[in-house]
Amino acid sequence: KVEEFYQEEKGLELYRRHIESQRRMKPHVLSDAEERLLAAAGEMASAPGNINSTLNDADIVFPEITDEDGDKVRVTHGNFIPFMQSKDRRVRKEAFDSLYGVYEQFKNTSASILHAQVKQLQFFAKAKKYNTAIEAALDVTEVPVSVYHSLIEAVNKNLPYLHRYMEIRKKALGVEELHMYDLYTPIIEEADSKVSFEEAKKTIIEALRPMGEDYIRILEDGFNNRWIDVYENEGKRSGAYSSGASVHPYVLMNYADTLDSMFTLAHEMGHALHSYFSNHTQPTIYSDYVIFVAEVASTCNENLLMQYLLKNTTDKKKRAYLINHLLENYRTTLFRQTMFAEFELMINTKAEQGETLTADMLCEMYRELNEKYYGKDVVVDDKIAIEWARIPHFYYNYYVFQYATGYSAAVALSNRILTEGESAVKDYLKFLSGGRSADPISLLKIAGIDMSTSKPVEDALKKLGDLLDELESLI
């Protein structure tokens, strides 16, 4: 019958992809009355996430510690990572113990909230005729469950690279024991760290020249025509953000004249140009894109910038800093996010098997994962076992794995652009212009990357060997 409609009204052909993606969900659409009941239960379903946010953001208060200057400062979510980056080990340890010591006091409450979250996901998955919660979550964005398992398998196979990085970090810091509170502090001081916004723009343009004239023209248009709110201001939100408005994208920055800020600018402009190409190529109904591909364009820009800087840097100290920056991206994005994804899969599997997620069970699983991922050169402190309680992404429903897959795809794409040139760029721009015109796996295949296999993840990880060799020789 629908085919008859396409024949009768030729204009309907534009919407075929959209209609078919809706019809694909037919086995999981219930009767009117059942769907009304599930919709009415939506507010209750969001309760675990809301309760966790309230507990974390409003009710929990962390103790004061003495900072590097001898001042009393209260630990907060906002200053915790800066404390973990402190050169003073006492400060790092005090912040670590203070934050996780408070979480330990609420571990049973946090476990009950997370258990409720997992159970509501299972309820809705079963109600919608899925076998598991992961099937229900990934089906929405048309990503096969096999992609999730392939990621975990590939990363687990390559954990020796992370173990070796930890060994190098331990030597570089000159400590007898490397603790969990030693993982964020820089092992190499930033060299020639001041990078003005004007310098950053020029460097990014040069780094992205392999992307071709069209890409650079639009990038310069964004730089020169007020797409970007650049500096920190009173009442302005922290961090960085790109909004893909249809007239042109807008980018929010809090630029701080550092190398990190330059990488953030390249990252956000990757998002912005992805939105620009999608908005200007696709009809409105397909102009948006799903989260699975969202981080690819931004991280690809970062990788191209890193390759450009490494190619044009001979200073040993600066080169070591850049390599360490890249290795930290691997650690925090590819390894750490995959560890989160593995934990999320484990807790859902336990609950699906009828087990109750107690605080002791969660802490034991989380501690064992840290031991596996970080290896023998890291002392896995007891308090890290409660870290799961402060990670809001465990309430996002199988979300975090996409950071790791996106990073892997971006590494593969940036390498292809640099080695194959114009043909690779042509494919990549087709991907950026794709929006929702196809499922995310098919869109990435257009760019020459097959995320239905573990190859992009394994290829990204193979590069770690050379990076670790050079870093070790430089320091």
CA distance 262 to 258: 7
SS3 71: coil
Question: Do residues 28 and 128 make contact, with C-beta atoms less than 8 angstroms apart?
Answer: yes
Question: Do residues 387 and 175 make contact, with C-beta atoms less than 8 angstroms apart?
Answer: no
Candidate list 94, 268, 302, 342, residue with the active-site label: 268
Chain-centre distance for alpha carbon 289 = 16
Which of 445, 452, 458, 388 lies closest to 153 in space, CA to CA? 458
**Sheet hosting strand 228-229, strand order edge to edge:** 228-229, 250-252, 241-243
Q: Within 13 A of 134's CA, how many CA atoms are on the CB side? A: 19
Q: What are phi and psi of 293, to 5 degrees?
A: -100, -10
SS3 142: coil
Work out the number of other CB atoms within 10 angstroms of the CB of residue 411: 27
CA distance 262 to 204: 8
Concerning whether 328 is annotated as a catalytic residue, the answer is no
* Neighbouring residues of 45: CB distance < 8 A, sequence distance ≥ 6: 120, 123, 124
Which run of H or E residues covers position 301? helix 291-311
- DSSP characters over 245-293: -SSS-EEE----SSHHHHHHHHHHHHHHHHHHHHHHHS-GGG----HHH
SS3 177: coil
SS3 87: coil
CA distance 204 to 313: 15
SS3 189: coil
CA distance 128 to 9: 33
- Ramachandran region of residue 30, left (φ > 0), alpha (ψ -120 to 50) or beta? beta
Residue matched to tokens 């840097």 = 313
* Neighbouring residues of 247: CB distance < 8 A, sequence distance ≥ 6: none
Burial tier of 155 (Cβ tally within 10 Å: 0-12, 13-18, 19+): buried
Q: What are phi and psi of 229, to 5 degrees?
A: -90, 105
Residue matched to tokens 């890290």 = 384
Catalytic site positions = 268
